[in-house]
Amino acid sequence: MDQPCLIVDDISHPGVRMLTLNRITKANALHEELYARLKHAFIEVNDLPLIRAVILQSASSKIFCAGADVNAFAELPLKEAQIKRRQQLVDTLCSMLTCHKPVIAALQGKVIGAGAMLALAADAIFTSPSVTLSFPEIHLAMPSPIGIAILEKRANLHHVHRLIQLGEILGTEELANAFLIDRLCALKPSWMSAFSMPACPWTQRLTE
């Protein structure tokens, strides 16, 4: 039986919905099904009073998400496929931004393009030291105003320019300096171990 591209776990950590991107063979590229499952998971949690927060992570320590799957809607004309992919991205981002619960992105590895937009739409961003974040669209001659809209929420013009206009890849130190991440964590087998550190009051509140 095929593994689901998104693992939804409301049981392992009471009060916390764990969403795990699990399309590893495609570097967690966002395709129609993954977008739909993410959107559903963020909307559904609004009606689950026992869930107090959502953590979004990857099943891979090497990559969080490679961005939009350019093969999605490949059967359609190019422009039409782009519009449909864009609609799915926007719908998913809006479901995160309107999710009633705190959404925490727990990042490891590469965070790219639409995957970076997904991560940056979270309320809080925790990263391992291995994280790099980039918007390669400019290298593909693609404008990225949606990326700019997301980035402007957190970063100043200098970092927006470097990421979007120059297509630079930023590591954790620079991301922290740019206030693009909230906390740098040691790499742990389970992200919840990072949230369980006594010095982190949020954990206590999430799990109380």
Partner 1 sequence: MDECLQYASVPLDPEAYRVNKQWLNRGIMAEILDAQSHLNQLA
Choose, by CB under 8 A, the member of 15, 182, 188, 207 that binds partner 1.
182
Supply the minimum distance, in Å, between the C-beta of residue 85 and partner 1. 11
For partner 1, give the closer residue by CB, 4 or 83.
83
Supply the minimum distance, in Å, between the C-beta of residue 199 and partner 1. 6
CB 64 within 8 A of CB 24: no
For partner 1, give the closer residue by CB, 39 or 183.
183
111-114, long-range: CB < 8 A, 24+ apart: 111/64, 111/65, 112/63, 112/65, 112/66, 112/67, 112/136, 113/66, 113/67, 113/68, 113/137, 113/147, 114/30, 114/65, 114/67, 114/68, 114/89
Task: Tell me the H-state helices in 16-65.
Answer: 32-44
Residue 98 has which token pair?
Answer: 């309107």
Residue 7 as a binder of partner 1 (CB under 8 A): the answer is no
Supply the minimum distance, in Å, between the C-beta of residue 134 and partner 1. 19
Choose, by CB under 8 A, the member of 101, 113, 135, 175 that binds partner 1.
101
Choose, by CB under 8 A, the member of 26, 39, 40, 100 that binds partner 1.
100
- Per CB under 8 A, contacts with partner 1 among 116-175 are 121, 123, 143, 145-146, 148-150, 152-153
Q: How far apart are CA 28 and CA 72, in angstroms?
A: 13
**Phi, psi dihedrals of residue 184, rounded to the nearest 5°:** -100, 125
Choose, by CB under 8 A, the member of 1, 11, 186, 199 that binds partner 1.
199
Supply the minimum distance, in Å, between the C-beta of residue 94 and partner 1. 6
Choose, by CB under 8 A, the member of 7, 8, 36, 94 that binds partner 1.
94
Residue 157 has which token pair?
Answer: 């013009």
For partner 1, give the closer residue by CB, 11 or 78.
78
Q: How far apart are CA 203 and CA 198, in angstroms?
A: 8
- Per CB under 8 A, contacts with partner 1 among 64-83 are 79, 82-83
CB 30 within 8 A of CB 68: yes
CB burial of residue 121 (10 Å; 0-12, 13-18, 19+): buried
CB 135 within 8 A of CB 115: no
User: What does the binding site for partner 1 look like in residue numbers (CB under 8 A)?
Assistant: 49, 52, 79, 82-83, 86-87, 90, 93-94, 97-102, 121, 123, 143, 145-146, 148-150, 152-153, 182-183, 199-202, 205
